[in-house]
Amino acid sequence: MMLSGAVEFSRFGLVTLLLFVVTALGMLSGLTFLGLALIPRLKVNPGQTGMMAYFGHVLGAGSLEEFERLAAETIPEEPRLTNQIWTLSLVIGRKYGHITRAFHAFGVAIAAGILAVLANAAGL
């Protein structure tokens, strides 16, 4: 009798435990994608830090010298604006993609959490 109760409890605990693991993984991956969206990353000079380096990359500067020329306006205006618009659209698209993936992961986590609570209440 004790053995059958232990088997039933382990089966009940296994379903609930698996759903809670899916919930935790969904929340963790959602937070990871939000972190990727919010942390500025530099493709060109990953060693540089600070707002000037980040905005230099956003403005389309491929190097520190090119950023200095952009700041001094020695590059013609038209290509510079085209580079700015193109680079900003790529950055915004990447960030939007990460935020979308984060909310999908949060949705999976919420659904798994609700199912875990229902499985716990139903004794599955």
How confident is the model over 87-99, as pLDDT tens digits?
A: 667 777 777 888 8
Instruction: State the pLDDT confidence band at 71, using cuts at 50, 70 and 90.
Output: low
pTM exceeds cut of 0.85: no
Terminal C-alpha separation, the chain = 19
pLDDT for res 100: 86
When computed from its CA atoms, the radius of gyration of the chain, rounded to whole angstroms, is 24
- Cα–Cα distance, 106 to 100 (Å, whole number): 10
Least-confidence region, from 49-53, 67-71, 120-124: 49-53
Q: CA–CA distance from 84 to each of 20, 54, 65, 69 (Å)?
A: 45, 13, 17, 14
Q: Which residue has the tokens 């949705």?
A: 107
- Share above pLDDT 90 across residues of the chain, in percent, rounded to a whole number: 0
Q: CA–CA distance from 58 to each of 1, 47, 106, 115 (Å)?
A: 68, 16, 29, 43
